[in-house]
Amino acid sequence: MNTITEEKAAGLQIAPQHDFMSKLRHPSVLPRLREYIQWRRGKGERPRLTPVSINLDLTTACNYYCGHCVDLEVLNSGINHGEQELFASLAYLADNGLRSVILIGGGEPTVYPKFREVVRFIKERGLQVAVVSNGSRTQVIAEIADQLDGHDWVRFSLDSGTEETFQKMHRPRKKITLGEICAGVSVIREKNPKLSLGFSFVIVWDQKLLIKRATIEKEAVVNINEMVAAAKLACGSGFSYISFKPFLNRFPDGGEVMDPGAMEDMENTLSTIRFGLSEAKLHETDSFRVLESTNLRVLLTKEWASFMRQPSVCHMQAFRHVLSPLGIFNCPAKRGVPQALLGGKDGFANANKSECTEVIVASRLDGFDASRECANITCLYNPTNWAIERAIAGEEELENNILTEQDLFL
- From the list 399, 316, 327, 315, the residue with the least C-alpha distance to 356 is 327
Does residue 401 belong to any structural domain of this protein? no
pLDDT digits (tens, 9 = 90+) for 339-370: 899 999 999 999 999 999 999 999 999 999 99
Q: How far apart are CA 229 and CA 233, in angstroms?
A: 6
- Taking only the tens place, the pLDDT of each residue in 305-325 is 888 899 999 999 999 999 999
**Per residue in 254-294, pLDDT tens?**
455 666 766 778 899 999 999 999 999 999 999 999 999 98
DSSP-assigned beta bridge partners for residue 242: 199, 290
pLDDT in tens, 121-167: 999 999 999 999 999 999 999 999 999 998 999 999 999 999 999 99
Number of domains forming the structure of the chain: 1
How much of the chain, in percent, has pLDDT values that exceed 70? Answer: 87
Q: What is the pLDDT of residue 217?
A: 45
pLDDT band at 210 (very low <50, low <70, confident <90, very high): very low
**Residue 405, in any domain of the structure:** no
In a domain? residue 60: yes
> Is 320 buried (19+), middle (13-18) or exposed (0-12) by CB count in 10 A?
buried
Residue 8 falls inside a structural domain: yes
Model pTM score: 0.91
208 band by pLDDT with thresholds 50, 70 and 90: low
Which residues span the domain enclosing 222? 3-392
Q: Does 407 reside within a domain?
A: no
What is the model's pLDDT at position 402?
66
Q: What is the pLDDT of residues 23-67, one digit of tens each?
A: 999 999 999 999 999 999 999 899 999 999 999 999 988 888 887
Which of 94, 89, 96 has its CA nearest to residue 32? 96
| 87-116 residue pLDDT tens | 999 999 999 999 999 999 778 999 999 999
Classify 44 in phi/psi space as left (phi over 0), alpha (psi -120 to 50) or beta: left
378 lies in some domain: yes
Interatomic CA distance for residues 124 and 180, integer angstroms = 31
Q: Could you tell me which residues are beta bridge partners of residue 241?
A: 198, 289
Residue 408 in any domain: the answer is: no
Q: Which whole-number Å values give the CA distances from 6 to 18, 309, 381, in the listed order?
A: 16, 9, 12
User: For the domain that residue 246 is a member of, what is the CATH number?
Assistant: 3.20.20.70
Q: Name the 3-class secondary structure at 109.
A: helix
Which pLDDT band, with edges at 50, 70 and 90, does 244 fall under? Answer: very high
Backbone torsion region of residue 100, taken as left when φ is above 0, otherwise alpha when ψ lies between -120 and 50, otherwise beta: beta
Q: For residues 12 and 355, which has the higher predicted lDDT (pLDDT)? A: 355
Which is it for the CA torsion 15, 17, 21, 22, positive or negative? Answer: positive
Has residue 290 been placed in a domain? Answer: yes
In DSSP terms, which residues pair with 103 in a beta bridge? 56, 131
